[in-house]
A and B are shown apart, each in its own frame.
Chain A
């Protein structure tokens, strides 16, 4: 069983809908991430939160809005998405700024598969 839990597993939404993806981890990790993955491509970084503050935004369109309510939770709010936003959305967490090589390791959730109609 994965230690990073994502809900929902599947989501179908129209272009005018507002929905949210949720992610939770209880490993005491202080960095949390959103990645987007299209078929046959590697994960593509969207956002990183470090100690509950947004530290990286990879020029993601504003129709994606991240939120980190506390150190264990990460949300991705979706509004006015386009069909090309259909993808697997992966949440991940890590220790944050490991001082030893390999100490900062990404652990992924199972993903939320999003379809935009």
Chain B
């Protein structure tokens, strides 16, 4: 089993839609959780850190479920500019070793 698993998609949604991605992780001792966004042929950029209590940043909401070992990302009112690959990243046994999911591709259509 992979350390971090994501549905690769693609998720094809119309503008204005709400879309949610899940990511599962295998190690219950995981410490830190992140969502990164990566545009085609660009570097990954931090979208949000994910905190135990859940957190929101504008149209984006991230949640952590430690009991079921998954994190989620909800995007409301999707924009064309949200089209990208969303990477789930988890850190546990070594603060400097980060485990990446395979990424979920989102296409927002007009």
Contacts and interface: CB of A to CB of B under 8 A. Distances in A.
Interface of A is mostly: loop
Contacts of A90: 43-44
Interface stretch (B14-22, B74-82, B89-97): B89-97
A106 B34 CA distance: 10
Interface residues of B, number: 26
Nearest to B44: A108
A117 to B, nearest CB: 20
A104 B32 contact: yes
A105 B97 contact: no
B100 to A, nearest CB: 4
Q: Give the contact-size bracket for chain A.
A: 20 to 34
B102 A110 contact: no
Interface of B: 31-34, 41-46, 49-52, 87, 89, 91, 94-98, 100-103
Going nearest first, the 4 A-B pairs with the smallest beta carbon separation are A102-B49, A42-B100, A108-B43, A97-B95
